[in-house]
Every structure is written in structure tokens, then in C-alpha cells.
């Protein structure tokens, strides 16, 4: 199994690359944000629980998030692997993901991080904001804050996966096929 933790700051191209990688390697893309929205919208037991924390302005406990991810993994027993997008964000979550995968006799194969300079990210997101309708893509100060939060949160994970020789930084600038090729070289060497 190939299990990837896909990382990169907002605007790095994670969603775009995940689409290509899931096709090429027959992986299941699990976006934590999408999983949360689906569970909340459909008022699943976990969605109702998650919403109760969100409505109070609290973070959803790791256990609830892991249970949602486990449900997604369970829905795909024939998968050749998974792309985890937006999770983990802390070393405790990375440990929990490792335990979840170990319970299924597999592990995280690699953390692939798309690396893009801040100014390019801001430019990309402002451009996306013109068509996405997302308010958080239209305001430069909000964009810069999102990027700063990403670096603050994920520096820990870079170190976590580097210590396990599973961190791969990929140049996220270039054409979409060029970037896909860079990621594919890492995956093919796993």
C-alpha cells in the first residue's frame, strides 16, 4: 500500500496534485475538510459530535477526527493506498494516524510537501479568489495569515517525518505535469 501525507501551504496545488496522483496510483484521496463537511452536512453521529465542538469555537478532538478518517478508510477496503490531505497537523495526530494504519497492517509511506515561495502563493490565491467565490482567497492579509499558520503548525510535522526518513520536499513551482512528475519520482522510489 502507498499511503501519502500530502502537505503544502494554501495555494501550493495539493488538490490539483491529489487528483492526478489518485488516478495514476489508484489511491483514495481523503481531504479532512471534505470529510468534516460531509459528516456535518449529513448529520452523521460523528458529524453532530464534531459540530458541537465547532459551534462552541473549539477544536474537534483528535479522537473524533481519527474516527472519521477510519470510517473513510473502512469504506475503501480494496484501496491500493490513501492520500491524506489536511491531516495530521500535530505530532499527536501523526501518532494516531500511524496507529490507525498499523491496525490495518500498513503505515505512512511518505510525507510529500509541496514547497512554494510565499509571494507565488499569495498571487495564486488572489487569482483563485477571483473565480472560487472563497472569501479567504480574496483578502491578501487573510491569505498571508493562513500561510503563516501553516508554517507554524507544520514545522513540527516536517521534523516528525524527517526523523522517520519519510519527508520529501517537492518544488511546487512549474507546470502541473512537471510537478506531478517530481512527486511521481518520489512515489516510484518508495
Residues acting as catalytic residues: 14, 89, 128, 134, 146
Cis peptide before 88 (omega within 30 of 0): yes
Coil, strand or helix: which one is 2? strand
Q: Classify burial at 79, counting beta carbons within 10 Å of its beta carbon; exposed 0-12, middle 13-18, buried 19 or more.
A: middle
Question: How are beta strands 28-31 and 167-171 bridged, if at all?
Answer: unpaired
Nearby residues of 161 by Cβ (< 8 Å), 6 or more positions away: 5, 94, 108, 110, 111, 167
Half-sphere exposure of 112 (CA within 13 A, CB side): 31
Amino acid at each position: 500500500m502507498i499511503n501519502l501525507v500530502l502537505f503544502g501551504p494554501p495555494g501550493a496545488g495539493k488538490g490539483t496534485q491529489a487528483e492526478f496522483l489518485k488516478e495514476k496510483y489508484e489511491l483514495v484521496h481523503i481531504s479532512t475538510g471534505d470529510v468534516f463537511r460531509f459528516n456535518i452536512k449529513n448529520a452523521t453521529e460523528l458529524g453532530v459530535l464534531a459540530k458541537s465542538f465547532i459551534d462552541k469555537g473549539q477544536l474537534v478532538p483528535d479522537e473524533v477526527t481519527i474516527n472519521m478518517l477510519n470510517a473513510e478508510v473502512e469504506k475503501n477496503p480494496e484501496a491500493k493506498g490513501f492520500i491524506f490531505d489536511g491531516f495530521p497537523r500535530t505530532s499527536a495526530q501523526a501518532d494516531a494516524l500511524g496507529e490507525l494504519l498499523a491496525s490495518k497492517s500498513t503505515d505512512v509511506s511518505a510525507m510529500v510537501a509541496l514547497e512554494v515561495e510565499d509571494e507565488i502563493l499569495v498571487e495564486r490565491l488572489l487569482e483563485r479568489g477571483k473565480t472560487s467565490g472563497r472569501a479567504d482567497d480574496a483578502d491578501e492579509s487573510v491569505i498571508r495569515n493562513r500561510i503563516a499558520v501553516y508554517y507554524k503548525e507544520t514545522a513540527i510535522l516536517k521534523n516528525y517525518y524527517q526523523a522517520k526518513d519519510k519527508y520529501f520536499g517537492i518544488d511546487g513551482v512549474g507546470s502541473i505535469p512537471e510537478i506531478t512528475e517530481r512527486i511521481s519520482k518520489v512515489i516510484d522510489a518508495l
